[in-house]
Chains A and B, each alone.
Chain A
Amino acid sequence: MADLLSVRGLEVEFVTDQGVARVLDRISLRIAPGEVVGLVGESGCGKTTLARSILGILPMGAARVRGGEIQFKGRDLLREDPRVVNEEVRGRAITVIPQDPFTSFNPLFTVGAQVMDLMKWKSPHRAVAARTQRRWPAVLHRYPRTRYRADRAAVLEALRAVHLPEPERALGRLPHEFSGGQRQRLMIAMALLPRPDLVIADEPTTALDVTIQAQILRLLRQLVKERGVSVLFTTHDLGTAYEICDRVVVMYAGQEMEAAPTGVFFDRPAHPYTRRLLESLPSPGGEIRDIPGEVPSLIAPPSGCRFHPRCDYATTECRADRPAERAVGGQHRVHCFHPLGSA
């Protein structure tokens, strides 16, 4: 089956006070339809930048896309007309579940107002804007009554699906009247209402209490599987990835290191970094095994494979070139000159 999303060779730079940071180094990523892919990496490895690149919402002044392509449903998002991307892709084909439910809602408008506004523009019942409509500034457009009623019914339905109590009353409340977990459920509902093909969930449980995290994760997985929606799920926590992902991709300092189906990933990791990550998880024995060294600066990153300064198996090749993608078995791919379990 053709990939839903295919990122190839994406290179992104950020201009900072201290110099140019090469945040994404020819990174590639594939997501099949209906697949939940976990993107795992430490803070600062570029997960959020990758997510934003796909959506096309990188900060305009500071960020530069140096190369690569993002193929989505037959179109290269990097080369597509930005207005078309905003109209048809963002909030429709690709939706978002943000990291911080506390600040992602507008505090001055009721939840209902914000959801219905989303539906006004992104409801699956809405035809793509005709050229004539584009003459008026969007803020002046009306919301057709009949569609409004249908959309509202769909919203209430969605709120029930995420187990939000009293959906009718909830719509009239302000965001700060909800708990973090409830707000994230709202976010999930809002992400699924436009009937997207892909949902980008950027560390959606990081800001929540540990006790609620598992609930939200399971809810999300259930809902996307019901609807056959793909998910790009970024996280720095391996445990979370294990919970809901079909496939896991590991990133380090702007490069992807390994990609494998979840079971394989946790059983037989091929990349030294992956193994270190797994080992650093708290074990029942209570040992803490950190990875020695520090995450490199992206302004002057290590050459070749960016993990080589901290890698036990590094050789001159690793310093010279970035290793090409190598298949370890079936869906299991790794970027390493010395993958584990091989000669």
Chain B
Amino acid sequence: MVSGAWFVLTRLCRDRSAMIGLILILALVLCALLAPVLATHPDDLFELHPAKRLRAPSAEHLMGTDRMGSDIYSRLLFGARITILIGIIAVGASLVIGVPIGLLAGYYHSWVSDLLMRVSDIFLAVPQVVLAIAIAQTLGPSLPNVILALSVTYWPWFARLVYAETRSLQNEVFVESTAALGASPFRLVVLHVLPSIASPIIVRASIGMGFTILTAAALGFLGLGPPPPTPEWGRTIAESREFLPDAWWYALAPGLAIFLTVMGFNLLGDGLRDVLDPRLRRDRGRG
């Protein structure tokens, strides 16, 4: 397994766009972790300076100030924390829910499997945003509720993926022979099935981060995200609308932040897919 991971890393390093993605993600993580240090006005998370509102970008305020006079740059940095938190927990939770469900459904051939897959079909039948809106609106705008709404609507992707892979693996000889040798289902699944399906799961998780962050931003934009003064990126964009076109920086900055973040995850995800699963390889441009 370790040598496999090393192999993947070295191959990945050769992929320029994946490396760009990795750099973007690392930048995001750094911003989030070091926000108090990197921010020029860390107190602007809570403090208001109405006198300084809606100022254009300058040396003092790198990305200008918002309607409360707070430094946009600093608030963006803290907003990175929210973004990462939402992404990791939501995708992580979807993984934790979806993978076991997929394994169960894939391993056993009973009405339970059909039921589980039917349920995930329902979730997959509706665009994630729509369901997330319904759930988040019911529960009320807050950070945990957003994460909950996203997790509940994203797990079916993992479940379906794992189900399909498990079913196709069952036809593989090595699974049949291991089972014939008397291995318990649990042992079979953990030691043999999981490593084989790890790759598609990793790829989907990486691409899922991008989608989840976009959906979270959309929820924030619609007012369903964590309430002020939390500097969530989507909400910041919503706030900025009434001050356009004059305060253009107010809308530009958080949007670019979202763009770069999601871009990073998408590029990395594509690169991972190319390395881990040659079957899905998109064209690399050679003869």
Contact = CB atoms under 8 A, between A and B. Distances in A.
* Chains A and B are bound partners: yes
A62 B286 CA distance: 8
Contacts of A15: 287
Nearest to A62: B287
A324 interface: no
A204 to B, nearest CB: 27
A67 interface: no
Nearest to B285: A61
Q: Is the contact region of chain A dominated by helix, strand, or loop, or is it mixed?
A: loop
Contacts, number: 8
Contacts of B287: 15, 59-63
Contacts of B286: 61-62
Contacts of A59: 287
A61 B286 CA distance: 7
Contacts of A62: 286-287
Interface residues of B, number: 2
Q: Is the contact region of chain B dominated by helix, strand, or loop, or is it mixed?
A: loop
A62 B287 CA distance: 5
Nearest to B287: A61
Contacts of A63: 287
A76 B279 CA distance: 40
A256 B286 CA distance: 30
Interface string A1-44: 00000000000000100000000000000000000000000000
A39 to B, nearest CB: 25
Nearest to B286: A61
Nearest to A14: B287
Interface in B270-287: 286-287
Interface string B20-36: 00000000000000000
A57 B193 CA distance: 43
A59 B287 CA distance: 7
A63 B287 CA distance: 9
Contacts of A60: 287
B102 to A, nearest CB: 32
Contacts of A61: 286-287
Interface in B185-219: none
A161 B55 CA distance: 86
Interface string A47-88: 000000000000111110000000000000000000000000
B14 to A, nearest CB: 11
A153 B129 CA distance: 60
B194 to A, nearest CB: 30
A63 to B, nearest CB: 8
A179 B287 CA distance: 33
Given A15-B287, A62-B287, 6 more contacts: A59-B287, A60-B287, A61-B286, A61-B287, A62-B286, A63-B287
Interface of B: 286-287
8 contacts: A15-B287, A59-B287, A60-B287, A61-B286, A61-B287, A62-B286, A62-B287, A63-B287
